[in-house]
Amino acid sequence: MEIVEKFLKKYPREKVMKCYKNTCIAEAITCFLLYGIAMIWIREDKESSLALAFIITIGNLHGLFFTLYLLLCIPARKIYKWDDEDFVFVLLAAFFPFATIWVEKKLARLDRS
């Protein structure tokens, strides 16, 4: 966890928390765009190069935010003082559509009681 310590020394807690929350929201938005629009569009119009370009772009963006979410979970665990059960739940939430928003709203709080 020495890498996390260096990361948190380099960047202030508030900046990491804001980045984590924004990544949660961006991951959910790109998930909606990918599943709700791009995949339906490509299924309906298989020969459209615009639909193909859209699904590739949105898919790459979603992959970026998915990876950022998983990477930012590590310093977020230290900031939010999650126990092992919470941390596993947060990691598993990345694999369910829109669960990252729930994580951001419910678990990502400093004053948990």
Model confidence at 91: pLDDT above 70: yes
Q: Which of 99, 1, 65 is nearest to 79 (CA)?
A: 1
Please name the residue that has the structure tokens 């991951």: 27
Give the integer Cα–Cα distance in Å for 61 and 48.
Answer: 20
Q: What is the pLDDT of residue 68?
A: 94
Cβ neighbours for 99, distance < 8 A, ≥ 6 positions apart: 93
Please name the residue that has the structure tokens 């791009």: 38
User: Given pLDDT bands bounded at 50, 70 and 90, which one contains residue 113?
Assistant: very low
Kindly report the average pLDDT of the chain as a whole number: 88
**Tens of pLDDT, residues 5-55:** 888 888 888 898 899 999 999 999 999 999 999 989 989 988 889 999 999
- Going from N- to C-terminal start, the domains of the chain cover 15-107
User: Given pLDDT bands bounded at 50, 70 and 90, which one contains residue 106?
Assistant: confident
Give the integer Cα–Cα distance in Å for 69 and 101.
Answer: 11
